[in-house]
Amino acid sequence: MELIIRKENPEDFETVFNLIEKAFKQVKISDHREQFLVERLRKSKAFVPELSMVAEIEKKIVGHILLSKLKIKNGRNRFDSLALAPLSVIPEYQRNGIGGQLVREAHKKAKELGFKSVILIGHEKYYPRFGYKQADHFGISLPFEVPIENCMAVELIMNGLKDVNGLVQYPKEFIA
């Protein structure tokens, strides 16, 4: 089976909504509203259409990833970065490397678009394989309480977070 990763199109929105809902249905540490977050982000200034990607197998969408813009704020300094949220693969296709391919492809595209880093809240055993480290390693913190091992960042280019530190400022769509 050939896996194709491509930019999400408007005609994919309903399928992606249902995919995200299904992917997070059994996840314990979820508010089960990730699909609504994606809808809000698509309408926001933080949305980068090229960084909303789907994975297809035999013309069936089986996975989705979204990277959206955020800021890291330190006093008067503001640094651009991206948030990875969410990464979704429908349950019957999980544990086949699809999520990993989506992450790698999204990182590659983000780097091509000039972004230097990505921040996420995620599983501490999964994301380090893609170069993620605890965000506090870079002096980056989140504006709410989350276990420190689940707050992570990755540099898309060498020294992409050099001299960048502070508090993550998520787009308002994340809080709604």
pLDDT tens digits, residue range 80-119? 999 999 999 999 999 999 999 999 999 999 999 999 999 9
Query: Between these two residues, 25 and 158, which has the higher pLDDT value?
Result: 158
Contact 50, 109 (CB under 8 A): yes
Pairing state of beta strands 117-121 and 77-89? Answer: parallel
Model confidence at 30, pLDDT cuts 50, 70, 90, reads: low
* Omega cis (within 30) before 86: yes
* Region 127-155 average pLDDT: 96
Contact 93, 57 (CB under 8 A): yes
pTM over 0.85: yes
Q: How many Cα atoms are found within 13 Å in the side-chain-facing hemisphere of 156?
A: 23
pLDDT score of 76: 86
Query: Between these two residues, 152 and 174, which has the higher pLDDT value?
Result: 152
Q: Residue 70 contacts by C-beta under 8 Å, 6 or more apart in sequence?
A: 46, 80, 81, 82, 83, 119, 168, 169, 170, 171
Mean pLDDT for the chain overall = 94
pLDDT score of 11: 97
The DSSP H or E segment spanning 52 is strand 47-57
Model confidence at 50, pLDDT cuts 50, 70, 90, reads: very high
| pLDDT of 176 strictly over 80 | no
Euclidean distance between CA atoms 38 and 17, whole angstroms: 8
pLDDT score of 135: 97
Structure tokens at 7: 């930019």
pLDDT score of 25: 86
Query: Between these two residues, 75 and 133, which has the higher pLDDT value?
Result: 133
Our separate counts of H helices and E strands in the chain read: 3, 9
Model confidence at 29, pLDDT cuts 50, 70, 90, reads: low
